[in-house]
């Protein structure tokens, strides 16, 4: 087991009506003026934003609103949020939404006390503890940002989508009401399931040997996501299935499923270039295409690890040929994503061979070369993986 540090400061409030506790709990923690941050439509139309506003007002907490976060959030709105925070003396940021809203909120919280441009943090990865406290009302289980240490933001002007890790921006409170996810369109539910499953794959396939305490937790989450996926897709208002998926989404990415391992994250790097190129590409859908392609390209580094995954997660019986077992596990993975309604080729996402060269320079800027850990990848390897996905 590799050395590690693990920080998890999030207070989880899970269950029906969880969001109604927002006002009281923020007030108890000293919040006086909150930036209420939300997305394009869903949280306003469902009345959620109004319910949260009432909860804040009842607790005597003032709020300044900033809506309009798009999927694959953009730095321009973050800068607006930073300016609003400075102008109004904001002391907490409350995100109502999914990964995009939460990531935008994290970036605002990081920039709120900073004199320079908040994008500096994405470029330099410089660490700071001077971050506004963040609370979250989660509306889609997927990115795991409700407890993760990362934010991922696009800069359309530079054609970049970049991550910034910092434990200080892990949310302090996450309100998680599974009923809020009943309204998710099937495609977003499926993309979320794919994303959380891929957060486990990124941690399972690296260059560290077996770490049973971590690996068994990871595999049990993979099995859970796989089992609950059809239940939420067939019956979107199944509270128990939605609850299991919501909690799994958090567990898949807050960090425990990877401690003691190096983790890989090459495929997330490959995907982020797709959604940087076209913000209409949903992160989970991009992963559904890229992960099986990455697996095919790298599995021969350690076929036994793939065979083990196939046995544990998909119940594949060993054939006596570890190579065949590994390939069957990859087929099962692709089949699982397809069964959710996710795409299997880049063509379905509107990406063509000519786009590959447009992504390579930004991939190199974001990930460096070589990148990944299961197999160290060059930019030529990345080109090949994109080609396999066409
Ligand atoms: O904007 P609205 O109208 O709210 O619509 C959203 C959006 O179109 C909709 N939605 C959310 N909750 C809903 C709902 N529609 C109906 N009912 C609800 N309850 O869903 C769409 C997608 O929302 P988004 O927040 O973009 O989804 P997700 O949570 O998948 O976040 C994706 C972003 O997170 C980043 C991704 O790269 C992407 O930018 N990631 C962040 C990570 C992190 N911070 O740790 C890790 C991940 O690997 C990922 O990279
Ligand atoms: Zn992800």
Q: How confident is the model at residue 19, as a pLDDT?
A: 98
How far does residue 8's CA lie from ligand 1's centre (Å)?
21
Confidence label for 240 from pLDDT (cuts 50, 70 and 90): very high
pLDDT tens across 216-237, in order? Answer: 999 999 999 999 999 999 999 9
pLDDT tens across 341-367, in order? Answer: 999 999 999 999 999 999 999 999 999
Confidence label for 287 from pLDDT (cuts 50, 70 and 90): very high
The atom of ligand 1 lying closest to the CA of 73 is: 39
Question: Given this chain, do its domains 11-180 and 186-389 carry the same CATH topology?
Answer: no
Q: Are 235 and 180 in contact (CB under 8 A)?
A: no
Q: How confident is the model at residue 105, as a pLDDT?
A: 99
Architecture per CATH, 186-389: Up-down Bundle (1.20)
Q: How confident is the model at residue 15, as a pLDDT?
A: 98
What is the pTM assigned to this prediction?
0.98
Q: How confident is the model at residue 217, as a pLDDT?
A: 98
Q: How far apart are CA 266 and CA 263, in angstroms?
A: 9
Q: Are 64 and 36 in contact (CB under 8 A)?
A: yes
- Ligand 1 binding residues, C-beta < 6 A: 39-43, 71-72, 97-101, 103, 139-140, 142-145, 148, 150-152, 180-181, 183-184, 188, 192, 195, 253, 268, 283
How far does residue 270's CA lie from ligand 2's centre (Å)?
11
Spell out a b/e string for 122-147, using b for 16 or more CB atoms within 10 Å of the CB, else e: beeeeeeeebbbbbbbbbbbbbbbbb
pLDDT tens across 63-119, in order? Answer: 999 999 999 999 999 999 999 999 999 999 999 999 999 999 999 999 999 999 999
The atom of ligand 1 lying closest to the CA of 101 is: 25
Q: How confident is the model at residue 144, as a pLDDT?
A: 98
Does the domain made of 11-180 have the CATH classification 3.40.50.1970?
yes
Q: What is the mean pLDDT of the chain?
A: 98
pLDDT tens across 148-166, in order? Answer: 999 999 999 999 999 999 9
How far does residue 319's CA lie from ligand 2's centre (Å)?
32
How far does residue 314's CA lie from ligand 1's centre (Å)?
28
Give the ligand whose atoms come closest to the C-alpha of residue 195. 2
Residue spans per domain, the chain: 11-180, 186-389
198-201 long-range contacts, CB within 8 A, separation 24+: 198/267, 198/268, 198/284, 198/287, 198/291, 199/144, 199/252, 199/253, 199/257, 200/225, 200/252, 200/257, 201/267, 201/291, 201/333
pLDDT tens across 365-384, in order? Answer: 999 999 999 999 999 999 99
């Amino acid at each position: 087991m590799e050395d590690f540090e693990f920080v998890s400061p999030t207070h989880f409030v899970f269950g029906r009506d969880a969001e109604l506790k927002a006002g009281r709990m923020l007030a108890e923690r000293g919040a006086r003026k909150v930036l209420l941050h939300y997305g394009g439509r869903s949280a306003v139309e469902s009345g959620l934003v109004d319910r949260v506003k009432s909860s804040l007002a009842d607790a005597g907490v003032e709020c300044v609103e900033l809506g309009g976060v798009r999927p694959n959030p953009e730095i321009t709105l973050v800068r607006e949020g930073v300016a609003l925070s400075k102008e109004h003396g904001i002391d907490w940021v409350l995100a109502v939404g999914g990964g995009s809203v939460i990531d935008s909120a994290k970036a605002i919280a990081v920039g709120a006390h900073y004199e320079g441009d908040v994008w500096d943090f994405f470029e330099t990865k410089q660490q700071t503890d001077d971050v506004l406290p963040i609370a979250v009302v989660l509306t889609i289980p997927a990115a795991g940002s409700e407890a993760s240490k990362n934010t991922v933001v696009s800069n359309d002007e530079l054609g970049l989508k970049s991550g910034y890790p910092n434990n200080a921006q892990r949310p302090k409170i996450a309100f998680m009401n599974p009923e809020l996810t009943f309204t998710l369109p099937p495609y977003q539910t499926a993309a979320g399931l794919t994303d959380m499953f891929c957060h486990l794959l990124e941690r399972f396939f690296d260059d560290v040997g077996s770490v049973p305490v971590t690996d068994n937790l990871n595999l049990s989450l993979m099995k859970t996501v796989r089992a609950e996926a059809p239940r939420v897709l067939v019956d979107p208002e199944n509270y128990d299935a939605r609850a299991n998926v919501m909690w799994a989404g958090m567990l898949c990415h807050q960090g425990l499923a990877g401690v003691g391992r190096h983790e890989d994250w090459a495929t997330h790097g490959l995907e982020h270039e797709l959604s940087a190129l076209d913000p209409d590409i949903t992160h989970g859908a991009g992963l559904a295409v890229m992960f099986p392609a990455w697996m095919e390209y790298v599995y021969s580094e350690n076929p036994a690890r793939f065979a083990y995954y196939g046995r544990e997660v998909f119940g594949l019986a060993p054939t006596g040929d570890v190579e065949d077992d590994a390939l069957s596990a990859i087929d099962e993975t692709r089949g699982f994503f397809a069964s959710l309604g996710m795409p299997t080729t880049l063509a379905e996402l509107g990406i063509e061979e000519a786009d590959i060269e447009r992504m390579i320079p930004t991939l190199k800027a974001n990930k460096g070369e070589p990148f990944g850990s299961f197999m160290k990848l060059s930019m030529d390897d990345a080109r090949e993986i994109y080609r396999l996905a066409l």
